[in-house]
Amino acid sequence: MGLSSSISVAMPVYKRPESLTNSEKAIITRVEEILSYHHLYFVVPHRLVPYYEKFNDFTVVSFEDYFFQDKNTYSSLLTSIPFYERFSKFKFLQIIQLDCWIFNDQLELYSSLGFDYIGAPWMKGGFEGKPENKMWKVGNGGFSLRKVDSFLRVLKEIKHGPKGKTVVFKNRFKGILKSIKNTGFRNNLRHYLDNAPGEDIFWSVYVPQIFNNEDFKIADNHTAASYSFEVNPSYLFKEITKKRLPMGCHNWANNEPSFWDNHIQIEGIN
pLDDT in tens, 141-178: 999 999 999 999 999 999 999 999 888 876 554 433 34
222 residue type, one letter: H
> Partners of 44 in the beta sheet?
62
Note whether 140 and 120 are within 8 A (CB).
yes
Q: Calculate mean pLDDT across residues 120-134.
A: 94
pTM of the model: 0.92
- List, for residues 172-229, the tens digit of each pLDDT value: 544 333 433 444 446 789 998 888 789 999 999 999 999 999 999 999 999 999 999 9
Domains of the chain, first to last: 7-260 (3.90.550)
Q: How far apart are the first and last CA of the chain?
A: 34
- List, for residues 21-64, the tens digit of each pLDDT value: 999 999 999 999 999 999 999 999 999 999 999 998 999 999 99
Q: Residue 145, SS3? A: strand
Length of the chain: 270
- Measured between alpha carbons, how far is residue 189 from residues 61, 79, 146, 160, 215 in Å? 27, 11, 19, 11, 15
State the CB neighbour count (10 A cutoff) for residue 186: 12
Q: Name the region of 222 (left: φ>0; alpha: ψ -120 to 50; beta: rest).
A: alpha
Residue 258 dihedral angles phi and psi, to the nearest 5°: -65, -35
Rounded CA-CA distance 173/181 in Å is 7
